[in-house]
Structure 1
Amino acid sequence: MKRLFFLLPLLFFTSQALAEDVHYHVVVSGLSCPFCVYGVEKKLKNLEGVVDIKSELETGEFFVQVEDGVSLSEETIKELVTKAGFTLVTFEEIVLED
């Protein structure tokens, strides 16, 4: 029984990691405070299929993880960032190899 409780979380995290293999690297200029980063994160999280976001205030970088089969367009991200009052510098899709 103890083994079952130990293995179930491992199976969950493993299957989740295998299913989510597309990330986006987004760089935004004009961020000056944590609240700016929060504003952009909030808008990104509202996009359908976004699973997780990691951000770096100092570099203006956002690492966006999406569900399997979901893709984001540069046009959509640029519009979102512009509406938030910032400038999109870089948009890059990163496909992780299994």
Structure 2
Amino acid sequence: MRLLRHTTAVLVGLLLAGSVMANEANFGYQENVENPGIFAMVGDLIIARPIGAAITAVGAAAFVVSLPFTALAGNTAEAGQELVVRPGRETFMRCLGCTKTGYGHKQKHDNL
């Protein structure tokens, strides 16, 4: 059972990497538009989003623990940005399978 989980994780990771590399090779699209495939979306949903949510939660806890020190030093905003906002944005503010942050929706191009 353990071997099956590890093998599945490795296969999904390899498929995700191949999908991302193939997506980078689309020279007909604008640079800021992403068009993720099914493997990128599934890998993002199963692997990247849970890891991102965990990193955001750990960052929030670290921010609360470091708050007295960052308040005395005067860099509370920077600590909050790096520990909570940035991981949260990477987790929740991008389309499924996209690699860039922001609500990147699929856009149709009329360059046929």
Structure with greater strand percent: 1
Q: TM-score, normalization: structure 2?
A: 0.26
Q: TM-score, normalization: structure 1?
A: 0.28
Name which structure has the greater RCO, CA cutoff 8 Å, separation 6+. 1
Q: Which has the larger radius of gyration?
A: 2
